[in-house]
Structure 1
Amino acid sequence: MEFVDSKKTGKEVAVKGPVCVTGASGYLASWLVKRLLSSGYHVIGTVRDPGNCRKVEHLWKLEGAQERLQLVKANLMEEGSFDYAIMGCVGVFHTASPVTGVSDDPKGKVLDPAINGTLNVLRSCKKNPTLERVVITSSSAAVRIRKDAIDPNIHLDEFSWSNVDVDFCQRFKVWYSLSKTLAERAAWEFAKENKIDLVTVLPSFIVGPSLPTDLSPTASDILALLRGESVKFSWYGRMGYVDIDDVARSHILVFEDPSAEGRYLCSSSVLDSHELASFLAKRYPYLPIPKRFEIPVGNALYYEFNTSKLCNLGFKFKGMEEMFDDCIASLKEQGHIPY
């Protein structure tokens, strides 16, 4: 096993990998890179422009980055774009995904990048003879969005799939859910046909500190809520929440555990928007948390998540208090909200 000296700690670190992380500068991917580096992995991160200092500078500040991080240019919509980054890796973590939100061209800007981008990454994986496992970041949105009623006595689990279609998405603007559902289904079909060892992680709404300077849409929505805006979370309705570090750790767990297989829901707590607002208002009374939300009928379905599959691997989730404490502390430090 190879050992290198960490420039920051002076300690020897056993090097693992190499592994590839797609979309490495993103909100979740940055935390995954951080966790992988701290665990001793050599990480090859793909980004659209490695020379864009503003977009990648936070990655180079991570402990171990100078010794064990390499950034490579790749584009989701270019077939073969990931060949160089993936070749020789023992593992691939595909986290890259199109930006969420309302789009005037959902097929071109949301669906195609998600589905074809995932397949492009897997095509590069197929060419790599040293590959051991691929972990893809899906979403609880591929489980919980339903046109029909959900039995409140049966918790949603890894056997559940969102049954969305284009008409439903057009009505409720849930293109992200459709993109994640179709992309994950396409990934499973490709992996089966090409004998790729695939595991997917399905996180709920991710909460936590943002390493990138520019806030992601997810982090921006949380900031807006803490500043008193209610529009986004009115649309969200009932939602699962999970700590960003938990999501990163769960990816590494299912990659390293040889018994891991299939899909893994990753969520700590499920709350209605009213419950979330009440919790936040009591814990952070100095913030102008909204007191009321107008929830669309289609977003008010009751559900719970069964995350026992991940917990059976020995995983433990952080609670709402810790995840929001860390998130708010980070937003204060970055000057987004007052102390």
Structure 2
Amino acid sequence: MYMQGERVICGSFGTRFQQILHMDRIPDSKGKVCVTGAAGFLASWLIKRLLLSGYHVTGTVRDPGNEKKVGHLRRLEGAKERLRLVRGDLMVEGSFEEAVMGCDGVFHTASPVLGRSTTDPKGEILQPAINGTLNVLRSCRKNPSLKRVILTSSSSTVRARDDFDPRVPLDESSWSSVELCERLKIWYALSKTLAERAAWEFCKEYKIDLVTVLPSFVIGPSLPPDLCSTAADVLGLLKGETEKFKWHGRMGYVHIDDVALCHILVYERENAKGRYLCSSTVVDNDELASILAARYPSLPIPKRFEKVDRPYYELDTSKLKGLGLKLRSVEEMFDDCVASLTEQGYLTATTTTTTTTTSMLETTD
């Protein structure tokens, strides 16, 4: 779907979007790794990066024969030679053993997402997140070739608390309050917090080398044909629907390619240890709306949001910065996201002209 040559989409940022899709290949094999939830928004991009870096990749999906769900993976550069898709279900004990066996590394990105019509959030997201993570780790434990596990967690495991000094940026030592998440029904943050804590306990007991990546709100091009909840929320904002972003209040944002690169970086660096926050910018929704409305004047983006009372916070990403990863600006990530949505037909080129502006935000890289 994306491998159509270097055509310009929506001006200069469309060109950069195509450059990202046509990244340089490194043909030499770097070994064998597994990626769970392979058809997902982040996992698809991670697999793209891994293949371009020369890895042999085994990806787990619910149905390897569902071409609509996995076709975009099979069309990736290097997939024919170095990508294998196998069945894996978070809730089926032992279903990941075939996938992880013989792999040097495992990237566990799969995680349940709260549906819009969920009636049982604890049963539909909490237990699947915890049990699914432990299910994967139990399979990893049986693999004698395993060197390291990379778990995709979330910055929501750091910031969902009400007892911090807003003048001090939150870092990887911070953990969200389980009690606060339960009281305010912040189910996603709770599921990620409990799943990551369970992973650390398991890996400590069984001496598994674990590193966790904590992305903020991930923005950028989408490879899967169906929009994930994140891309759908961004599309809604670009079309003037403000409810979702209004309730975000203050939020961190990061480019999907930077998140994928972060996963690979902490896998490859022998000295990478513990947790890594991955976020470029933290911004109030009101400021974000102002930036996007000015940047895409032909789109019906509100220039201001209704003010929502959310605690002020910043994220300290100096630990990731120490590994040398430079993160893209909020303007770049939304430019690439808009170009992708246009390429997929969700936006029309005539409505996505952009105004070149100087970055209004400081990035945390």
TM-score (norm 1): 0.93
- After superposition, the C-alpha distances for 1:190-241 in whole angstroms (9 at most, x for unaligned) are 0000000000000000000110000000110011011101110111110000
Paired residues in the alignment total 326
The structure 1 residue matched to 2:209, chosen from 179, 197, 207, is: 197
CA drift at 1:27: 0.1
Aligned position for 1:104? 119
Distance 2:145 2:61 in 1: 22
Aligned position for 1:5? none
Aligned position for 1:253? 265
My pick for the range that moved more, 251-260 or 325-334, is 325-334
Aligned position for 1:338? 348
Distance 2:81 2:290 in 1: 45
Alignment of 1:213-292 (within 5 A): 213-292=225-304
Amino acid at match of 1:332: T
The structure 2 residue matched to 1:185, chosen from 197, 200, 212, is: 197
Aligned position for 1:153? 167
**Would the alpha carbon gap of residues 295 and 128 (structure 1) be closer, same or farther in structure 2, given more than 3 Å must change?**
farther
SS in 2 for 1:211: coil
CA drift at 1:172: 3.6
* Partners of 1:139 and 1:201 within 8 A in 2: yes
Q: CA RMSD in A?
A: 1.6
**Would the alpha carbon gap of residues 129 and 100 (structure 1) be closer, same or farther in structure 2, given more than 3 Å must change?**
same
Distance 2:326 2:160 in 1: 25
SS in 2 for 1:120: helix
Does 2:330 align with 1:320?
Answer: yes
* Partners of 2:102 and 2:143 within 8 A in 1: yes
Structure 2 unaligned regions, length at least 5: 1-21, 350-365
Identity %: 67
The structure 2 residue matched to 1:55, chosen from 47, 56, 69, is: 69
TM-score (norm 2): 0.87
Distance 1:173 1:231 in 2: 18
SS in 2 for 1:206: strand
**Would the alpha carbon gap of residues 149 and 287 (structure 1) be closer, same or farther in structure 2, given more than 3 Å must change?**
farther
Amino acid at match of 1:312: G
Amino acid at match of 2:326: K
* Partners of 2:151 and 2:210 within 8 A in 1: yes
Distance 2:220 2:237 in 1: 14
Distance 1:291 1:215 in 2: 25
Structure 1 unaligned regions, length at least 5: 1-7
Aligned position for 2:154? 139
Deviating beyond 3 angstroms after TM superposition, the runs of 4 or more aligned structure 1 residues are 168-173, 294-297
Aligned position for 1:26? 40
* Partners of 1:23 and 1:29 within 8 A in 2: yes
Does 2:139 align with 1:124?
Answer: yes
Alignment of 1:74-85 (within 5 A): 74-85=88-99
Distance 1:265 1:197 in 2: 18
* Partners of 2:155 and 2:215 within 8 A in 1: yes
**Would the alpha carbon gap of residues 171 and 234 (structure 1) be closer, same or farther in structure 2, given more than 3 Å must change?**
farther
**Would the alpha carbon gap of residues 133 and 175 (structure 1) be closer, same or farther in structure 2, given more than 3 Å must change?**
same
CA drift at 1:12: 8.2
Amino acid at match of 1:263: R
Distance 2:69 2:26 in 1: 29
Distance 1:12 1:221 in 2: 34
